[in-house]
Chain A
Amino acid sequence: MEAKRLTVCLAGNANVGKSAIFNQLTGLNQTIGNWPGKTVERAEGTLHFKGYTIRVVDLPGTYSLSAYSMEEVVSRDYIAVERPDVVVNVIDASALERNLYLTIQLLELNAPLVIALNQIDFAAKKGITVDAQRLSEMLGVPVVPTVATSGIGMQELLSNVIEVTEKAVRPVSIKYGREIEESIQKLETPVKTRLPQLSSRYPPRWIATKLLERDEDVSKKVEDEKGSLILSEAAEIAEQIEGIHGEPSSVVMASERYSLASRVVRGAVKILSPPRVDMDQRLSSITAHKILGYPILAGVLASVFVIVFVAGGAMIGVMQELFDTVLIPNTEAFLSRMLPPIVVQIVSGGFLWGVAAAATVVLPYIVPFYVLLAILEDSGYLPRAAFLMDNLMHKIGLHGKAFIPLLLGYGCNVPACVGCRIMETDRERFLAGFVVTLVPCAARTVIILGLVGRYLGISAALGLYLFDLCLIFLLGRLAFRVLPGEPVGLIMEMPPYRTPMPKAVLKKTWARTKDFVYVAFPFIIGGSIFLQFLSVTGLIWVIADFMTPLTSSWLGLPSMAGIPLVFGIVRKELTLVLLADLAGTFDFSKVLTPVQMVVFAIVTMIYFPCVATIAALVREFGVKRAVAVAAFDSILAVIVGGLAYRLLSLAL
């Protein structure tokens, strides 16, 4: 037999220290990517222990295994279909009852289970002690007490994982109340006999349970295997249960699981002292305070902005220096020795400048932003911010959490699009992503200030900002009405405050940055090469001519304005420089009328998101939706710009 290999996955609620355990186990040997076809982060790593090579997969944090969110579907399909050798369920000793809800569902899936009873130190501080031995007896699976942040219990956890695989320990199946148990058994046999394919992939008892709960995902799978008869039987039994309890069957099942969980808690948990008011509670009551909370929030946000722009600005300076004086001239000189000038022009102006753009403009803002985001995430502050802003965000059809990506959009749209992941459902993510592309980022702010602010006064620039806010508000509401699906209200855990671990923060930042480079760089560089090609071959003038009816007749701009708009797709902050180049002067008041300035600023503010944002949109929402957003924004910009031209000409 060759080297012994094991696959272990980590499952657990959010905020239980699952990633901390993952980091303790795998160290630096980890890769972070996405689950195939899903915008759910997937982290994987390997380690060696007692002659085993163990692959560790970190499942996303979930509270349940119903098909509520993408994270839940990913987790349960991984456990049921890919069948890892052992599932390590990380549970928070200080909130055992809620954590056991997921544990019970893992037991339903009949997965080989080891429980990591984490944060025993934190629980002890709150006066809670959990009898691991007793817990293990009651659940029929090994329970290892751990403190992930200081690495306590890791060796024992791994020993237990190996013991479970070597001895092929399977958890005992859990029993519910009589009437639920009978209903499940009534369904289990027909599932086993009439759905051989499905029950070879999932445990039949689990399928029966899910049918009873009217799980959409499982129902669809049963339908696909021509099991509509079983479906109607299940619906009938579910109706009976609903008739007796007066609640949806899924709620009845949730109650069953919770009553089991609270029975276990009563058996295994001792509360020694009444919980005192601790630091965490005091901090919570200040940061989520009705009045004090808002200045604190404003302060935190302002610091994020300042830090990102100061750090980003400094990095941009260094990187630009590096590219402009060292990298680009030297490579150009090297290339021109062996290639014809036109190729050099395309390679240098396209490829090199593309790399430069990505490395000097996008990365410097993104890296500090990722660091701060990781700190805010790990500390537990973000839910407080969402709590305070929920009310306002509802006005544009989103809930509190969307406040975070929206705000980031003012810095750069790219991390803002990625930040939309904190929304639960696909619909909300897309809605937030759509709104985010309308937020004027730093590059667009440059245009608004440099053109409108400088020549027409700061009040005109602020007016444009206000106009954009109204637009965001209106379009957010519109998209909210048009997009199908049930609007999701805020149901969010408020985790206790924790001190972020520098190592964990840096690891997160590194993994996310790497991921971003893979996705966005090809787009930025490709776009840059393409534009350079157009420019070198003179095709750009053909396009400008082609666009003349649009730019001159409809928008009332000089016809050369089409070119900076096309180039702006790659780098928006370049539009102004290019406009100056084409006009032959930096004094825009000589070439543009005030109305033209406003129209130009409006169009650049709203139209086609920059290519890096498109890359982020593609990554988060798929090609189709990214194209839809880009097309919508462009059409909107043209319409609004044209209307503004006509209205302003009349008014002035």
Chain B
Amino acid sequence: MPEESDMLELLELVKTLTRKDTPARIDVIAARMGRSMDEVRRLADTASDQGLAYRTQGCIELTEAGEAAVRKHREEYVHRTHIHGTSLTGRMRRLIEGRVTDWHGHWRRHGFDDESLPSFYADMENLQGRIEETVSLADLREGDKCTVVLALGGYGMVRRLAEMGLTPGTELKVVRSAPMHGPVEVSVRGVSLALGQGIARRVLVKRSTNGQPSTTL
């Protein structure tokens, strides 16, 4: 019996690798998961037993239930790491909020409204690559370098960040952060910017290794 995390990884990869008219290919998935094609096929069969996905000519496609499972996974993930963070207070707040059943209503409680929710959902659809590879900018330490992957939030905030130079793919360096989860100061395109905790938490970045930004997602 495959682990639940394997299943989620498969579904995430299928979702990520599916382009408009071309479904995700099993060999590509296997390479990305570091598994054999047979293992992926077996996993896909289990998924299809559970009604989450189905196999078509060397490819895997998601069913509606599969799409929903991916969405739920992403919502939980974003909630866990990018809204509350992994700090002690973040974990406690999450504990108080408990297991969320009504996500739509829950995002509203986090300050999203009718205008910003659609773009937030669109962002989540667009999370490329395995989302576990990204971290929140707020979780980096002083001196860390990273590249911007995506900003989650309302239209105005995302546009403003892009205008101030935080476009996807931009390199950042964390200069300092204020105590008690205050704002984060980053150096970007030769200038210093202070980003409030709420904003820094919603900027998804990819940590650069050895100071060198990685080019692959």
Contacts and interface: CB of A to CB of B under 8 A. Distances in A.
Contacts of A82: none
A447 interface: no
Interface in B169-185: 169-170, 176, 178-183, 185
Interface string B110-130: 010101100100100010100
Given A246-B128, A400-B196, A491 B161 contact: yes
A388 interface: yes
A26 interface: no
Interface stretch (B4-12, B22-30, B34-42, B151-159): B151-159
Given A246-B126, A486-B157, A391 B183 contact: yes
A394 B195 CA distance: 13
Contacts of B119: 248
Chain A interface size, as a band, is 35 or more
B183 A390 contact: yes
B159 A66 contact: yes
Contacts of B185: 288, 387, 494
Contacts of B168: 247, 251, 255
A189 interface: no
Contacts of A242: 122
Contact of B182 (A98, A213, A388): A388
A250 B162 contact: yes
Contact of A492 (B111, B159, B193, B198): B193
Contact of A68 (B163, B169, B197): B163
Interface stretch (A89-97, A195-203, A335-343): A89-97
Given A247-B126, A490-B196, A97 B165 contact: yes
Nearest to B163: A64
A383 interface: yes
B191 interface: yes
Nearest to B200: A489
Nearest to A492: B194
A554 to B, nearest CB: 38
B182 to A, nearest CB: 4
Contact of B193 (A243, A399, A494): A494
B106 interface: no
A97 B190 contact: yes
A387 B175 CA distance: 13
A494 B162 contact: no
A255 B126 contact: no
Contacts of A494: 185, 192-194
Most buried by A among B20, B116, B194: B194
B213 to A, nearest CB: 14
A457 interface: no
Contact of B162 (A254, A262, A290, A293): A254
B150 interface: yes
Interface string A52-72: 000000000001101010000
B141 interface: no
A489 B157 contact: yes
Contacts of A22: none
B92 to A, nearest CB: 17
A291 interface: yes
Nearest to B202: A489
Most buried by B among A66, A101, A486, A489: A489
A258 interface: yes
Contacts of B191: 95, 98, 493
B135 interface: no
Contacts of B108: none
A290 B179 CA distance: 6
Interface residues of B, number: 45
A417 interface: no
Contact of A490 (B159, B165, B189, B194): B194
A491 B200 CA distance: 9
A98 B165 contact: yes
B159 A250 contact: yes
Nearest to A62: B163
Contacts of A254: 159, 162-163, 167
A1 B190 CA distance: 48
A400 B190 contact: no
Contacts of B199: 489-491
A487 B165 CA distance: 21
A209 to B, nearest CB: 14
B146 to A, nearest CB: 17
A101 B195 contact: no
A386 interface: yes
A391 B192 contact: no
Interface in A475-518: 486-495
A386 B183 CA distance: 9
Nearest to B182: A391
Interface string A413-444: 00000000000000000000000000000000
B160 interface: yes
Contacts of A258: 165, 167, 170, 189
A247 B160 CA distance: 14
Most buried by A among B20, B160, B163: B163
Most buried by B among A94, A254, A285: A254
Contact of B196 (A98, A383, A491, A493): A491
B33 interface: no
A165 to B, nearest CB: 30
A287 to B, nearest CB: 11
B189 A98 contact: yes
Contacts of B180: 391
Nearest to B142: A290
A63 B159 contact: no
A394 B197 CA distance: 10
A488 B153 CA distance: 11
Contact of A399 (B111, B159, B196): B196
Contact of A94 (B115, B164, B190): B190
Nearest to A424: B160
Contacts of A491: 157, 160-161, 164, 193-196, 199
Contact of A247 (B115, B150, B179, B197): B150
Given A248-B119, A486-B116, A494-B185, A394 B159 contact: no
Interface in A208-246: 213-214, 242-243, 246
Contacts of A98: 164-165, 189-191
A490 B201 CA distance: 12
Contacts of A66: 159, 163
Interface in B10-63: 20
A101 B159 contact: no
Contact of A250 (B155, B170, B190): B155
Nearest to B170: A258
A251 B122 CA distance: 13
A251 B158 contact: yes
A487 B202 CA distance: 14
Contacts of B162: 250-251, 254-255
A214 B155 CA distance: 10
Contacts of B158: 248, 250-251
Contacts of B156: 68, 486, 488
A493 B163 contact: no
Interface string A383-407: 1001110110010000110000000
Given A98-B190, A251-B167, 5 more contacts: A68-B159, A95-B191, A248-B158, A251-B162, A494-B193
8 contacts: A63-B164, A98-B165, A254-B163, A255-B167, A288-B178, A391-B197, A489-B157, A489-B195
Q: Which 6 A-B pairs have the closest CB atoms?
A: A490-B196, A254-B162, A246-B126, A489-B196, A489-B199, A494-B192
